[in-house]
A = this chain, B = another copy of it.
Amino acid sequence: MPKPNVREQIVDAGLDQFHRAGFNGSSVDDITRAAGVPKGSFYNHFDSKEDLAVDVIERYAQSAPDDELRDRGRPAIKRLRAHFARLAADFIESGYTRGCLLGNLTAEMADHSAAIRAKLDAMFSDWTDLITSVIREGQDAGEITTSVKAQQLAGFLLSAWQGTLIRIRSTKNRGLLREFNTVAFSVLLPPRDTP
């Protein structure tokens, strides 16, 4: 058991703060106070708040749940549905707050910090890749029959999910989750037959 690591505590606290209040809404002071470390210590571990954000994004992505996606024993579509259902459950539990840190920081910081944007891009990319591979497996198994390429489908699902989170946060209407589940997934389904 490693001794309580100051840097880790700061990253943890930073993750929570950034998720709650955004980058500009979180002060270094807020973060160190929440971490229970002296404020002065911050700059021993990070060059800047921006630097912390990069680490926070990494940690957020690493600790995001992806068990459902990686469960190779199940059909691809079930894995995808389970994945987003899990994300939705967490979101509902929070009372439709916070949303996805990757989306939030993109909206807030993409134009202002190249380092943060690049990290967000990488994490989105990992996520897309993972979903792409699941879709590809579904295609190989014949479960997914659309002609659209796996990577595009993956990217689209992620975009639709991000947008759904945003819109639910503004409307506080969870009905949009149902739309996501039915409409977004419909693009994976085999073409419907004409009667």
Interface string of A106-117 (1 = CB under 8 A from B): 111011100001
Compute how far the CA of A156 lies from the CA of B170 in the bound complex, rounded to whole angstroms: 14
Indicate how many identical chains form the complex: 4
Q: Chain A contact residues: over half helix, strand or loop, or mixed?
A: helix
Report the stretch among A5-13, A67-75, A95-103, A131-139 that lies at the interface: A95-103
Compute how far the CA of A98 lies from the CA of B107 in the bound complex, rounded to whole angstroms: 8
Chain A residues within 8 Å of chain B by Cβ, number: 55
A-B residue pairs, 8 tightest by C-beta: A163-B163, A24-B24, A159-B163, A162-B163, A191-B192, A107-B107, A110-B169, A106-B170
11 contacts between A and B (CB under 8 A): A107-B107, A124-B171, A153-B183, A155-B175, A156-B160, A159-B160, A159-B163, A159-B164, A159-B180, A190-B194, A193-B194
- Chain A residues in contact with chain B, CB under 8 A? 20-22, 24-25, 97-99, 102-104, 106-108, 110-112, 117, 120-121, 124-125, 148, 152-153, 155-156, 158-164, 166-167, 169-172, 175-176, 178-180, 182-184, 186-187, 190-194
